[in-house]
A and B are shown apart, each in its own frame.
Chain A
Amino acid sequence: MINIIGTGLAGSSAAVTLAGAGIKCRLISAQHSERAQSVLAEGGINAALDTMGEGDTRELHFEETMKGGCFLADPNAVRALTQGAPDIVRELRRIGVPFNLNEDGSMMLRSFGGQKKKRTAFAKSSTGKMIMTSLTDEVRKYEARGLVTRFPHHTFVRVLTDGDGKCAGVRVRDSYTGRLYDMPGRVIMCCGGLSGFFPGMTTGTVTNNGMAAALLFTQGVRTANLEMIQYHPTTMGIPGKRCLVSEAARGEGGRLFSEKDGKRCYFMEERYPVMKNLMPRDVVSREMYREMRDGRKTFLDMTELLESVWEGKLSDLREEIMHYFPVDPKKDPVPVQPGIHYFMGGIYVDARHETSMPGLYAAGEFACQYHGANRLGGNSMLGAVFGGMTAAKNISENAGSADGNTREITEFSGEEPFGCEASPAFMRGIGGILYGSLGIVRDEDTLRGALDELDRLSGTNAAEDAAKQLARAMLMSAAERRESRGAHCRADFPETLEEYRKTTVSEYRNGAVRITFEDIPEAANEDNI
């Protein structure tokens, strides 16, 4: 029996992989799959399917993912990801994802940032929702066969360990009753990114509160590259959050410009004549930041897009923009600004998706894998599906007979300090400190000031203390990386330095956070993968 925490793309993918191999699993989540953050993913999923006659290859997908991530990702993991991508997308089509198709019935692909070939398979501009619907039906098939048992309205409390420090189960809390339960067996955690550390300031969901990562961190599980926070170039402010304007808008021909005193400047096209508006997100967001800093307003111009593109490829996007703003993107440019969208960092895992705690696996945005210092658009859903699948395959290969197939769930009635929640007010306090210091451009003084400010914030329970420690690790990671790379741009250290081409690892031991830089694995001989 395997316990999966989280039922978005990565968790569902892990469940389907395990159940498909006849292995039973529990699918534990705060809410149902329909509420997972994965349903918000819009633009598409990358795979070198080469259906557009451009001669795309898996090798090029690998190279561009590595380059986009500024060579901070594990090349072996990225190799496996990009090699596996075409089969994943074909499988998603097989289970019914209504992808846009070419006249000949092959997969239609669109352009996305940081990629020279059309490589992004899509279902208009609601690709995440479409994939989740089909994948949730797949999970249901295995529920009916008794291979998957869902535990909705249950949240993560702590990982249970055996005498050797190996993962032996998970303690969860039923949010309906407040009761705690211990579920034996190995664990795959797919609990999303760290949006909850920036309340109201990201494109993510409120369910994605980041607490699982914080609690796990204070249990001694290591995290990586926490300073790598993706600001998506095109977001809009809506009540209580940032709303994404999909990169697909630029992939289909949308153009960014800035305006001051009635004069327009198509700054991306002027500065990057080859890739223009489709440079990787870190580059575009920095350029947007500079325009805004210099007092210019930034807009996305989609007025030249053809009617057929709006109708067939971006219909949901237009509806969404018009719903929140009195702007019809067909007729007028849309005001957009960069907003926090994705966390490249997370729980430190190896290429097999095992964490620093033996027997505990992590996947999806929850884990630090595949994206290095900057994720390419279209690689997040791919990373989530592939990561969930990889974690499931490896955990089942390594699961011994002592993995709790016969052991039952038991109610836990003892003292549990983690059986509490961080208050929204406390998380807003943390959010203010982090947002003020982990912006698109950072510097030592601001980061040190934020650490001092964080010290003065005192938690009132174990969950708040845990959140504070993970926030500290985020700030320390950013302070210790004294270079600029990908999403981490330091005003005081603008160069990219080879000596920092390492993974920033944070660890919580004996009440203190420690940062070390670890070597990125060498690329293995391709024949051995």
Chain B
Amino acid sequence: MKITFEVTRRKSAQDKPYTQTVTIEAQDTTVAEALDIINAGELADDPITWESSCRQKKCGACAMLINGRPRLACDTRLSEFPKGVIKLAPLKKFPVVRDLEVDRSVLFNDLLTLGSWLEGNAQSGETDTAYDASRCLQCGCCLEVCPNFYAGGEFYGSAALAPASRLIAQMPDEERKRLSDAYNGHFYKGCGKSLSCRDICPAGIDTERLMVRSNAVAVWKRKFRGKKK
């Protein structure tokens, strides 16, 4: 199949963006694989910079805007675009490093401020929520579509909801206040419940369910009864 890529590129954050158009002939594969083909072929002398690691939608590295939607390049097939045109651009809510690579430090800085860790021993009654929440890739797709999130704000979005939900499901009593306060201040108060995060999450995490469970414990002070496995 013949596919035309329109790639938003720039040499550095300071440089002006420009669009480069490349057309390739490829079998149906992923956008990630197509980027490899482009970089090895037509653009071998000036390859497109982009982040990538696992190539099977388990690490979140290759999140980018694909025809305007934040997605993982390794989880997007060329055949999804019957018109044969795919527009690639860097995520918009993070500073651009180069081409499609963005600096997602804010994700990790927010988790640091949130206090995303356990001081005491995990309570293991509720493993289902902890499991679902632990699947978060920290790719940033949820923040990209969130109407309430902006980098540097007090609201940390679902990229913090997921880790916080794991901790809330497992928190020992002595950490109840610390984690509940952090959750209230950095998630509950700022969330407008658009649930766009749930629809976009490449890992398929049901953020609404995490919210319901975490709100119950951290906001409404209900205790999990914990389904026994």
Residues of A within 8 A of B (CB): 31-32, 34-37, 39-40, 93-96, 98-103, 105, 108, 123-124, 126, 129-130, 133-134, 137-138, 140-141, 143-144, 150, 152-153, 176, 205-207, 238-241, 243, 312, 320, 323, 424-425, 428
Contacts and interface: CB of A to CB of B under 8 A. Distances in A.
B1 to A, nearest CB: 14
Contacts of B29: 239-240
A240 B134 contact: no
Given A32-B108, A93-B122, A129 B134 contact: yes
Contacts of B98: 176
Interface in B172-211: none
Contact of A94 (B55, B56, B121): B121
B131 A98 contact: yes
B124 A105 contact: yes
Interface string B113-126: 00111110110100
B119 A141 contact: yes
B98 to A, nearest CB: 8
A133 B124 contact: no
A137 B163 contact: yes
A424 B54 contact: no
A141 B112 CA distance: 8
A105 B226 CA distance: 12
A134 B108 contact: no
A176 B94 CA distance: 14
B170 interface: yes
A35 B134 contact: no
A143 B105 CA distance: 14
Interface of B: 29-30, 32-33, 36, 39-40, 44, 51-61, 74, 97-98, 103-105, 108, 111-112, 115-119, 121-122, 124, 127-128, 130-131, 134-138, 163, 166-167, 170, 228-229
A426 to B, nearest CB: 11
B116 A137 contact: yes
B53 A206 contact: yes
Given A105-B124, A137-B118, A137-B163, A124 B131 contact: yes
Nearest to B52: A206
B112 A424 contact: no
A134 to B, nearest CB: 7
A360 to B, nearest CB: 26
A71 to B, nearest CB: 34
A36 B54 CA distance: 8
Nearest to A103: B228
Nearest to B103: A176
Contact of B135 (A94, A129, A239): A129
B58 A39 contact: yes
Contact of B134 (A108, A133, A144, A238): A133
B126 to A, nearest CB: 9
B56 A39 contact: no
B165 to A, nearest CB: 12
Contact of A205 (B55, B112, B122, B131): B55
Nearest to A137: B117
Contact of B229 (A36, A206, A312): A312
Given A31-B51, A176-B103, A239-B33, A99 B127 contact: yes
A240 B30 contact: yes
B127 A98 contact: yes
Contacts of B40: 424-425, 428
A35 B61 contact: yes
A95 B53 CA distance: 26
Contact of B32 (A98, A176, A239, A425): A239
Contacts of A101: 124, 127, 229
B163 A424 contact: no
A459 B124 CA distance: 53
B131 A35 contact: no
A95 B122 contact: yes
A144 B30 contact: no
B53 A205 contact: yes
A96 B122 contact: yes
Contacts of B127: 98-101, 123
Q: Looking at B33, B59, B135, B138, which has the most chain A CB atoms within 10 Å of its CB?
A: B59
A37 B135 CA distance: 15
Contacts of A94: 121-122
A314 to B, nearest CB: 13
A109 to B, nearest CB: 14
B131 A130 contact: yes
B120 to A, nearest CB: 9
Contacts of A138: 117
Q: Looking at B60, B105, B127, B135, which has the most chain A CB atoms within 10 Å of its CB?
A: B127
A256 to B, nearest CB: 22
Nearest to B59: A35
The 10 closest A-B CB pairs, nearest first, are A96-B122, A141-B117, A133-B134, A98-B127, A98-B130, A35-B53, A137-B117, A207-B53, A239-B33, A98-B131
A40 B54 contact: yes
A96 B32 contact: no
28 contacts: A34-B59, A34-B60, A35-B53, A35-B59, A35-B60, A96-B124, A96-B130, A96-B170, A98-B124, A98-B134, A100-B127, A100-B229, A101-B229, A124-B131, A129-B134, A137-B116, A138-B117, A141-B118, A176-B103, A205-B53, A207-B53, A207-B61, A239-B33, A240-B29, A240-B30, A240-B33, A240-B36, A425-B44
A130 B39 contact: no
Nearest to B60: A34
A40 B30 contact: no
A292 to B, nearest CB: 23
A98 B122 CA distance: 9
Contact of A320 (B56, B74, B111): B56
B52 A144 contact: no
A39 B115 contact: no
Q: Looking at A32, A138, A238, A241, which has the most chain B CB atoms within 10 Å of its CB?
A: A32
B141 to A, nearest CB: 13
Contacts of A240: 29-30, 32-33, 36, 55, 74
B118 A95 contact: yes
Given A96-B122, A424-B40, A140 B111 contact: yes
B131 A123 contact: yes
Contact of A96 (B56, B108, B118, B136): B118
